[in-house]
Structure 1
Amino acid sequence: MRLLIATDAWAPQVNGVVRSLEHMAAASGALGIETVFLTHQDFVSVPLPGYPEIRLSYATRSAVARRWETLRPTHVHIATEGTVGYATRRHCLAIGRPFTTSYHTRFPEYLAARAPVPQSWSYAWLRRFHGTASGTMVSTPSLERELAERGFTNLMRWTRGVDTDLFRPDATGADALAGLPRPISLFVGRLAVEKNIAAFLSLDLPGSKVVVGDGPDRARLAALAPEAHFLGTRTGAALAAIYAAADVFVFPSLTDTFGIVLLEALACGLPVAAYPVTGPLDVIGGTDAGVLDTDLRRAVLAALAIPRERCRAEALRYTWAESARQFFGNIAQAHDRQSAALPQASTLDPRRARPSNPGFLQNGG
């Protein structure tokens, strides 16, 4: 399998989509799969207003076709619904090539938070975008149910993982959160309005509030809570040390589809406080590794009593190896199913060779 992943989300962005795709690429070689990417780096692009780390690409079908000649993929996965993803979708449809997609982001809710665009319009466009795919991957059972109720079809499960060697309870860093009054309530993520961080910062909590991340909403949030500690973006061992030094992880988002930061916090032994919505319901619900409550303050105070070893044990259930098995298995199965239904596709692209499944898929994958 030579897999082309088309994505509008790529470095220098720091988010769950980018991290997930990076882990899939890292795991592909051991599975006998070659992974190549089509990103904003392959096109002329400009920064998105308000989000300079996000690039808007001038991606056209003809530009994708030229890159296609060089990359020569056997399988295609479209990770995002932006200009790169849309142009790749157009090319696949034009040449009769099956492709899969994934649903990472609640664009209808994000857009509605910024502009008077009815969510029904956005969901109608997303149904059309994903409806031509041979399979659409979703991260959780609750998101799968929700999208199915909205008319999405061919949904496939793709969970996420966490590096439990990097993120661990004994992760240490130079003076990570040293000297801050306890308990320390932590948020990690992009500082943007859709993350609902103001709900966290407005809580009357004992101890200290720490915010890790950056984004267009930082200045407003800092003015809203001048007593909070804004540390900027942290990654790798520095981020793990902060998780391990905190007392509770607060996840105020109402729109995330999963939240890899939830797994990172748990892996460091950090209990989670969140609203009972998609993402937290699937990761935290029924685990006793966190507290979900419509009263976020009550959830934070209750989560402080959760033993750290319980959180770590829950995180150990999630591995990137299993995530990769699901991801590549979904792609191979959906591709072969669609190819069998549309045998004429090979005549539209005579150089296309339909490869056999890699061995890990043939043996129960």
Structure 2
Amino acid sequence: MVTDAWRPQINGVVRTLESIARELTSAGHDIAFLTPERFWTLPVPSYPEVRISLASLGAVSRQIEAAAPDHIHIATEGPLGLLARQYCLSHRLGFTTSFHTRFPEYVAMRVPVPQEWSYGYLRWFHAAAARTMVPTPSLRDDLLARGFDRLMLWSRGVDGTRFRPGPKTLFTDLPGPHLLYVGRVAAEKNVEAFLDLDIAGSRIVVGDGPDCARLQKAYPDAVFLGYRHGEELGELYRSADVLVFPSHTDTFGNVITEALASGTPVAAFPVTGPRDVLSDPKAGALDDNLNIAVARALTLDRADARAHGERFTWAASAAQFFAGLEPLRAGPQRLAAAG
């Protein structure tokens, strides 16, 4: 598994890969990760937790050959992903990729680069793969319309033991309802739509990122808790009345399934990710007006949210992932042409 996204990053890509690795290891498979931890890195400006690997093709080749894999999966389109792709093509090896992040939209929010240029790069990158795994049907349809091909669904799971229903133990000193946001505090997450909600109660932000200091100053009545993990994060979900997911650009939204597994209904915009995950209107509310979605979510039964969350398991996700892997020696003629 080749990934440019790795610890200390806290995001859905890292959580997904770690969860899949645990499931596959418990099923008897050996998983080796090729990550930035093995190389010199430089921090991305404004995102110091995200680091760019300064690796060479020779170094990446040696790492892959030392692992002697039966399958290679390239999870990200960054420097390590590019080098692993080059290695596979030069050795006529089959491999798979996955599409996790809408980087074209993220880049366009920061620099004046047309999205189609970025999508052109991503089309080129994934075209060489035997299959590109995508998390939701709506993302698959969007990418097909943009000229991507050989797409297969690879859904996500949730740890139903860590994220589970229970008593409301937090926020007792804050006015209700208690509205929760969990995720990176950055422009692409649209956190201000959450903070601008015209609904009485408390807004609690769990996470950090480049926009955190600015938003703390602009919204002094909101509660900013920084990153939380493990049992503490589960307790926050259980104590919230609604998880608000304001992003327009996420491809899935792991925090949605974590909230549902905790028995917490979700409010979101009807976009890729939420409209796929929140397929049961008893578990969450979707609306172009986020105020309406939150108001509706506040009326939902927590037992229904938990029941829907139980549909997502990492065991099923891992089985789906493994079934999509490609033997290394498959399709040399097509791979050579794609290079």
CA 1:340–1:63: 2 relative to 1, 3 Å: closer
Superposition pairs for residues 230-249 of structure 1, below 5 Å? 230-249=224-243
Q: 1:283 aligned to 2:273? A: no
2: CA distance, partners of 1:127 / 1:255: 18
Contact between 1:177 and 1:245, CA under 8 Å: does it hold in 2? yes
Contact between 1:201 and 1:224, CA under 8 Å: does it hold in 2? no
Q: How many residues align?
A: 335
Which secondary structure state, in structure 2, belongs to the residue aligned with residue 35 of structure 1?
coil
Alignment equivalent of 1:45, drawn from 20, 30, 41: 41
Which secondary structure state, in structure 2, belongs to the residue aligned with residue 53 of structure 1?
strand
Superposition pairs for residues 1-365 of structure 1, below 5 Å? 5-170=1-166, 176-331=170-325, 335-336=326-327, 339-342=329-332
2: CA distance, partners of 1:15 / 1:112: 20
Which secondary structure state, in structure 2, belongs to the residue aligned with residue 231 of structure 1?
strand
2: CA distance, partners of 1:221 / 1:49: 19
Deviations 1:78-116 (A, max 9, x none): 000111111111111111111100000000000011111
Contact between 2:96 and 2:129, CA under 8 Å: does it hold in 1? yes
2: CA distance, partners of 1:235 / 1:100: 31
Contact between 2:93 and 2:330, CA under 8 Å: does it hold in 1? no
Identity of aligned residues (%): 53
Contact between 1:250 and 1:273, CA under 8 Å: does it hold in 2? yes
1: CA distance, partners of 2:101 / 2:150: 18
- What letter corresponds to residue 294 of structure 1 in structure 2? D
2: CA distance, partners of 1:322 / 1:171: 29
Q: Cα RMSD over matched residues?
A: 1.5
Deviations 1:35-60 (A, max 9, x none): 00000011110111111111111122
Contact between 1:287 and 1:314, CA under 8 Å: does it hold in 2? no
Which secondary structure state, in structure 2, belongs to the residue aligned with residue 46 of structure 1?
strand
Deviations 1:174-215 (A, max 9, x none): x53231111000000011110000111111211100000011
User: Which runs of 5 or more residues in structure 2 are unaligned?
Assistant: none
1: CA distance, partners of 2:281 / 2:323: 27
CA 1:164–1:344: 2 relative to 1, 3 Å: closer
User: Which runs of 5 or more residues in structure 1 are unaligned?
Assistant: 346-365
Which secondary structure state, in structure 2, belongs to the residue aligned with residue 86 of structure 1?
helix
Contact between 2:159 and 2:313, CA under 8 Å: does it hold in 1? yes
How far 1:32 sits from its partner (Å)?
2.5
Deviations 1:132-156 (A, max 9, x none): 0011000000001110111101101
- TM-score normalised to structure 2 length: 0.96
2: CA distance, partners of 1:167 / 1:67: 36
Contact between 1:166 and 1:236, CA under 8 Å: does it hold in 2? yes
- What letter corresponds to residue 235 of structure 1 in structure 2? H
Contact between 1:203 and 1:297, CA under 8 Å: does it hold in 2? yes
Contact between 2:93 and 2:332, CA under 8 Å: does it hold in 1? no
- TM-score normalised to structure 1 length: 0.89
Deviations 1:157-187 (A, max 9, x none): 1000001111011167xx5323111100000
Which secondary structure state, in structure 1, belongs to the residue aligned with residue 267 of structure 2?
strand
1: CA distance, partners of 2:330 / 2:95: 13
1: CA distance, partners of 2:301 / 2:33: 41
- What letter corresponds to residue 220 of structure 1 in structure 2? R
1: CA distance, partners of 2:167 / 2:22: 23
